Chains A and B, each alone.
Chain A
């Protein structure tokens, strides 16, 4: 039986879709059978981030409404053998699917795949309820901003009420230089405020935009810190214990000395 993971955040634009694309790719690179489910009906995007937008024939709503078989709607990734995408419908809206249907869908996928990653829409309405309906575990993505952390807290409350226990936190778009200057909350601040366990920290990286431009997840052949951070999270999902990356690249003697004197280099 595969595991159904929902990636959620409350606030939009914090990197849910990018996270789903990269974690799914990372898991498939490790040889797992993975399917990515875009639950953002009406505003599909995971197909573009994965570079699979030209291959869509059927979508999630077609499957739910029995217009096609589940296998027909699954799109195989361009590079990785065991990676598939179930795209959202662009024409319909969130009310086209009911939580019970999502639950059934996730269940049937979990008999064929090791990991089912559900990309949850922003917000706390119907789309959110659908996305979490079939999930075994939840990953919460946030950025080091007051509004994003506030929404993450609300989501944690709602997940608790839905009895999805023990969600894990991903802090995305961290800027170590700003943290050092005292102009950004650090990971420990956020983790302490939200009181949930951390599964990874992803630094802000221009490479993400470049990879999204091309429709190729950054973990695919990338050696940047963001790529490594995503790969590490996917390995932690598989149960490996991996120490957190040191995002502060300047840890030699002189840079540490500079840091103490407040002249730390910006990276």
Chain B
């Protein structure tokens, strides 16, 4: 770390290079998701399959999407739970 880097560290200031890198990472996650909505749909279907092994969820209302987080993109998934599969532990 050089003197400039040291001061940036003390002042908790990000270098413009770090800002560029973070902005780029963020925008690319969204670009890549947008470029293939197909991918998110595939993910939703697979997640639905996995979750269905443990509980009964509503397929119609489920959603998988990307959201803005603090300094990173967040993958969010919502599934409406209709009921739990009781006795799942014993069955497996």
Contact indicator A182/B5 (Cβ below 8 Å): yes
Contact indicator A262/B20 (Cβ below 8 Å): no
Contact indicator B35/A183 (Cβ below 8 Å): no
Pick the most buried of B2, B3, B8, B16: most chain A CB atoms within 10 A of its CB: B2
Kindly supply a per-residue 1/0 record for chain A positions 124-137, scoring 1 wherever the CB is within 8 Å of any chain B CB and 0 otherwise: 00000000000000
| Distance in angstroms between the alpha carbons of A177 and B76 in the assembled complex | 41
Kindly supply a per-residue 1/0 record for chain B positions 34-61, scoring 1 wherever the CB is within 8 Å of any chain A CB and 0 otherwise: 0100000000000000000000000000
Q: Does A261 contact B (CB under 8 A)?
A: yes
Q: What are the residues of chain A within 8 A of B15 when measuring CB–CB?
A: 181-183
Contact indicator A259/B2 (Cβ below 8 Å): yes
Contact indicator A193/B25 (Cβ below 8 Å): yes
| Distance in angstroms between the alpha carbons of A181 and B8 in the assembled complex | 11
Contact indicator B28/A260 (Cβ below 8 Å): no
Pick the most buried of A146, A154, A261: most chain B CB atoms within 10 A of its CB: A146
B83 to chain A, nearest CB (A): 41
Q: What are the residues of chain B within 8 A of A154 when measuring CB–CB?
A: 31, 35
Binds B, one of A59-67, A109-117, A184-192, A223-231: A184-192
Known: A182-B8, A262-B2, A262-B5. A146 touches B17 (CB 8 A): no
The size bracket of the interface on B is 20 to 34
Interface residues of B in 2-31 (CB under 8 A from A): 2-6, 8, 15-18, 20-21, 23-25, 27-28, 31
A25 to chain B, nearest CB (A): 32
Q: Does A162 contact B (CB under 8 A)?
A: no
Q: Does A210 contact B (CB under 8 A)?
A: no
Known: A182-B8, A182-B15, A193-B21. A150 touches B31 (CB 8 A): yes
Q: Which 4 A-B pairs have the closest CB atoms?
A: A262-B2, A182-B15, A262-B3, A182-B17
Contact indicator A149/B24 (Cβ below 8 Å): yes
Contact indicator A261/B24 (Cβ below 8 Å): no
User: Which residue of chain B has the shortest Cβ distance to A264 in the bound complex?
Assistant: B2
Q: What are the residues of chain A within 8 A of B20 when measuring CB–CB?
A: 145-146, 184-185
B91 to chain A, nearest CB (A): 42
Contact indicator A146/B3 (Cβ below 8 Å): no
Q: What are the residues of chain A within 8 A of B5 when measuring CB–CB?
A: 182, 262
| Distance in angstroms between the alpha carbons of A157 and B34 in the assembled complex | 12
Known: A146-B24, A182-B8. A157 touches B3 (CB 8 A): no
Q: What are the residues of chain B within 8 A of A263 when measuring CB–CB?
A: 2-3
A61 to chain B, nearest CB (A): 32
B66 to chain A, nearest CB (A): 16
A190 to chain B, nearest CB (A): 9
Q: Does B32 contact A (CB under 8 A)?
A: yes
A226 to chain B, nearest CB (A): 22
User: Which residue of chain A has the shortest Cβ distance to B15 in the bound complex?
Assistant: A182
Contact indicator B31/A262 (Cβ below 8 Å): no
A41 to chain B, nearest CB (A): 26
User: Which residue of chain B has the shortest Cβ distance to A186 in the bound complex?
Assistant: B17
Kindly supply a per-residue 1/0 record for chain B positions 68-91, scoring 1 wherever the CB is within 8 Å of any chain A CB and 0 otherwise: 000000000000000000000000
Contact indicator B16/A146 (Cβ below 8 Å): no
Kindly supply a per-residue 1/0 record for chain A positions 253-267, scoring 1 wherever the CB is within 8 Å of any chain B CB and 0 otherwise: 000000111111000
